[in-house]
Structure formats: structure tokens, C-alpha cells
Amino acid sequence: MAEKFDAIVVGAGPSGNAAAYTLAKSGLKVLQLERGEYPGSKNVQGAILYADALERIIPDFREDAPLERHIIEQRMWVLDDASFIGSHYRSDDFNKPPHNRYTIIRAQFDKWFSQKAQEAGVLLICETTVTDLIMDGTQVIGVRTDRLGGSIYADVVILADGVNSMLARKAGFRPELNPGDVALAVKEIHFMPEETIASRFNVSGDAGVVIEMIGKITKGMMGTGFLYTNKESLTIGVGCMLSDFKKQKISPNRLLEEMKSHPSIRPLIEGGEMKEYAAHLIPEGGYKAIPRIYGEGWLIAGDSGMFVNAVHREGSNLAMTTGRIAAETVIELAAQGKACSTKNLAAYRAKLDQSFVMKDMKKYQNLPDILHRNPQFLTTYPELLNQAAHIMLKVDGVDKKSKEKQIRSNFAHRRSLFGLVGDAYKMWRAFE
Amino acid sequence: MSTAAKVEEKLFQNRYKVDAGRPHISIKNPDLCAHDCDAQQCAVCCPAGCYTTEGNGRIVLITDGCLECGTCRVICDDHRNVEWEYPRGGYGILFKFG
């Protein structure tokens, strides 16, 4: 007779580790399966760690977690071909511990998080791909893997297997991903001396900067670019909706190359040694793309459940939070001696509805559609804004009143008065 | 480094454990790509350049540099002609930094 566990967690990313850790802490017998050589070796993120979500799981994580830099400055750039206009927010309050967010390197961070889960009692088996869920009618009762030979059983299986979630799809829990519901991001890591980063980004010690970018760098596709400072490296990347990549037939690698050569970006990364190139899908379909997340003997957490707030660039915190809440739901049922049935696991969804996770997902539910149908927000407006700044700031003997007139006429010419009013309304609707 | 690095040069920086002779992705019906797919978007949008178009219109897939993102499978939504699985446990891309 095969061994039976209280819970099996598939995947050792933020949601899987949060779930496994929480379950094991409460004394449940947990098996966690990871297909990579070690936790993190298959995982890709920008990456920003939001402290709050992890604090609720491991309050003293700062003592030994591998953190790169705490963020004291956020830059938002709107780029034209040769220029950018932007806002910077920097505050010394962000320099005071406990820090609110950090850059991290996922291969190191996930390994650390997994170590914590193992110390809590989780049995982790790596280099093992889960190939199928074992069903008894409609109930999930275990998993089959490509390594262990035979089957492993559990009262509940938590799918934290990432955006592609082959398992949920094979089992029919959710349909294939739609190209309009995922973004493809590519990124590189460039190493350079700490002093170079400190002087280029005007920071000292462990303080860091993040730059988020929109505009011409995405060639009319809906997406964003980013540049994050790590301790001794920079992460630079760009992500756009896969449906846009498909429609416009743009090579993601070339898109990143062109972004890196932008005159405002190139000097920041110059001289760095590129040590890794990665790509990843980000589930950005929003609230309407969330599939069924629980059923008879199963729960879905993290990217696999499409839990990403694209507007605020949040994902790993939603992954940790959904992983934790999935585990807490299972723990409560176990304590009451109740089965992990569809009816009982509905508590998971109810808890998420009450949390910031679903509230935020709901708030922006119309945004993906609006941006899809209105690409001008990411193409025409960045150009117009940069033009406006250029006209106002260039001293050339033209009086300011004429310059304002020129700017107004540029806007009206490109979008018409009705277009401008309509766009303002659409943005208000999307964010209200 | 050149400002327009080719994707092959970039992949050279990555660490892989290739499962020789057992590609985890395959094209279900190669004739369909050659004759019925005008877009052939996989040849453009795969971030690792695993798909190339040959002169006769056929698509050649070499999965050794695959980053396991899933783009090729999701983007082939008109034909669903990509058979996509994860590599066997321990094989494939091994991110050093991720």
C-alpha cells in the first residue's frame, strides 16, 4: 500500500512554499513535489518581494532570507523613441526598517523559502514532475509522477504548479490559456560592481531603485518594461500581451534588445556582464480569467489560478497569500474532522473574496478589456506627453502661449476632442 | 557586448540539462504548419528561437534552448498543433538566478 499524506503540494514557488510551510507548521503530513533540480530552478520573476505577504507567514524572515536591496525609490517612465517623461518617488521613510519591499533573486529566495518549509516538516522531493492527478470519479485522491514509480495519495492536492498548470488543464479544471490572458516577459540579469550601481542610481548601502516603463519600447503592444537594482546586478526586462506579440509578429528578444539600446536606458546597464536570459508567461487576464479554484479534493493557488494584479505589478504576494489561505482552509477542515469536499473547500474561495486578493482583482476587472480595445493609451499618449515636454522645455524664441497652443493642437490632431474626453472617461471607469 | 545580441549567444549563458533524444515539445502535424498556417508565429515569438522556418515552409523545432515558458503552445491557438509537456524531472532549463 502506497504511503498516504494529509496533503500534497505540487510546485515549490511562492504559493507552493507558502502552502506547504503553513500546513506543516500546523502538524499536518505534507509532501511537496518540485520538477526542478532545486526549488527556484524553474522559476522566473522580476523580481520584487512584498514584505507584508511573507511577514504573515514567516514574521522574522528578514533575519536570514536572501534579500538584494530594499526599495527606496520608484521611477515611472513614459518613453518615446529618444526621450522619456516620468515621475520619481523617493522617500527616506522607505529606508527605515522594517522595509516594505525588496528586490530578490528567485533561485536563491525560493531555495531559502523551501528550506523553511522543510524545517517545518515538509517532505520535499525535487527533480520529479507530476504527470497526472489520480481521480476517483470526480475526486482527486493523489498524484502520479515520472520518478517515484506508482502513485502517492493524499486527502487534498494543492496545485501550485505555475502559470502553465498542465495538471489543472489535463484534469479539465480549467481551459487552455488564451493568448489575450497572458503576457510574455523576457529578461536578463547584468552583473556589475556594487559601487557602479550605487553611483548610477544614487543609492548607498542596501537601498535600491525600481524603474517601471511604458511607451514606445513596447511598439504599440500592451505591456511594460522594467529595470530593478539588485545587490551586484541589474535585472532588465519587458513583457507584453501574448496576443499582441502574435498579432504584430514581434520577436521578444529583439524587443528587449531595442529597449536596452534606448538612449535613456543604455547608460544605466552599460558595462554589465549578462549572465542569464529568461522568459516567462504572466497570467494578466485579471479577475475574469480566474478559473475554478477548488473542487473535490483539490485547490489551486498562485499563478495557476491567474492571481496577478497587472496594474500594480503584484503577483508573488498574491501567490503567497493564496497559498497560505489554501493551507489554512485545509487545516481548519482537518481540525474539525471534515473532508476536503467541494462543499467544504468553498471556504477557500470565501476567504479569498474577503481578502485583498479578490478585492483588488475585482477592482480592475475591466482594465484588460479597455486597454486591449484602446491601444492609444500605450502608444499615442506616451508620444504626445514626450512631445509636450519637449516643446515646453526647449528654449527657441517661441513664446509660451504659442507653445501651449501647439501642444493642444497636437493632442486634438492625434485623438480629436471627443477621443480625449472618451479616453479620460474610460480610464476613470477602469480605475474607479 | 554587442547591443543586438543574438538569442543563441544569450542562451549560451544559461544552464541546461538536456534530455537527449527526449524532446518535451513536438509538432503534432508538421504538414499543417507547412501548408495551412500562414502566420507561423511560433518562429517569431518563441523567446528562445527554438522554431525556425525552412525554405520550403516547414517548421523545424529544436527544444534544447527551451526556456519552458509555454508561449509556443498558447500562441498556436488557431491550430493547437503543439504537443507540450514539462521535461522529465530535473531536466531542461536550470535557472541560476531566475
B19-44: per-residue pLDDT in tens? 999 999 999 999 999 999 999 999 99
Min Cα distance A105 → chain B (Å) is 6
Query: What is the domain partition of chain A in residue ranges?
Result: 4-68+104-175+291-354, 182-283, 368-431
| Whole-number average pLDDT of chain B | 94
Contacts of residue B84 in chain A, CB cutoff 8 Å?
166
C-alpha cell of A68? Answer: 538584494
Tell me the chain A residues in contact with residue B94 when contact means C-beta distances shorter than 8 Å.
Answer: 36-37, 41-42
Cell of A298: 483539490
ipTM entry: 0.96
Share of chain A above pLDDT 70, in %: 99
Give the Cβ contact number of residue A64 at 10 Å: 11
Q: Which of residues 135-154 of A touch B (CB under 8 A)?
A: 145-147
Give the whole-number percent of chain B exceeding pLDDT 70.
95
Please give the class, per CATH, of domain A4-68+104-175+291-354. alpha beta
User: Cα torsion for A242, A239, A323, B75, to the nearest 10°?
Assistant: 20
| Residues in B touching A127 (Cβ below 8 Å) | 89-90
Cβ within 8 Å of B, A 319-378 = none
Fold of A182-283: D-Amino Acid Oxidase; Chain A, domain 2 (3.30.9)
- Determine the pLDDT at residue A303: 98
A427: pLDDT confidence band, cut at 50, 70 and 90?
Answer: confident
* B49 inside domain: yes
Distance CA A231, CA B6 (A): 27
Q: Considering the domain boundaries, does residue B18 fall inside one?
A: no
Provide the 10 A C-beta neighbour count for residue A244. Answer: 22
> Residue A63: exposed, middle, or buried by beta-carbon count in 10 A (0-12, 13-18, 19+)?
exposed
**Mean pLDDT of all residues in A157-167:** 97
Q: What are the CA-CA distances from residue A103 to residues A99, A109, A423 (Å)?
A: 11, 10, 34
- Domain-embedded: residue B44: yes
Is B19 within the bounds of a domain? no
Contact A251 B96 (CB under 8 A): no
pLDDT at B2 (0 to 100): 43
- Is residue B11 in some structural domain? no
Answer yes or no: is pLDDT of A374 > 70: yes
* Residues A81, A77: Cα–Cα separation, whole Å: 12
Determine the structural domain holding residue B54 and report its residue range.
28-93
> How far, in Å, CA of B48 to CA of A176, rounded?
22
Q: A-B interface: how many C-beta pairs under 8 angstroms?
A: 150
CATH at residue B34: 3.30.70.20
Residue A82 DSSP symbol: S
Classify residue B81: in a domain, yes or no.
yes
Q: What is the pLDDT of residue B40?
A: 96
| Residue B82 included in any domain | yes
Instruction: Give the model confidence (pLDDT) of A56-97 as tens digits.
Output: 999 999 999 999 999 999 999 999 999 999 999 999 999 999
Assess if residue B22 is contained within a domain. Answer: no
Out of A108, A177, A250, name the one closest to residue B74 (CB).
A177
Q: What is the CA radius of gyration of chain A?
A: 23
Among B39, B47, B95, whose Cβ lies nearest the Cβ of A276? B95
- Residues 6 or more apart in contact with residue A93 via CB below 8 angstroms: none
Number of compact structural domains in chain B: 1
Å from B3 to nearest chain A CA? 6
Per-residue pLDDT tens digits for A236-274: 999 999 999 999 999 999 999 999 999 999 999 999 999
Residues with Cβ within 8 Å of A180's Cβ and at least 6 positions away in sequence, in order, are: A241, A242, A243, A285, A368, A372
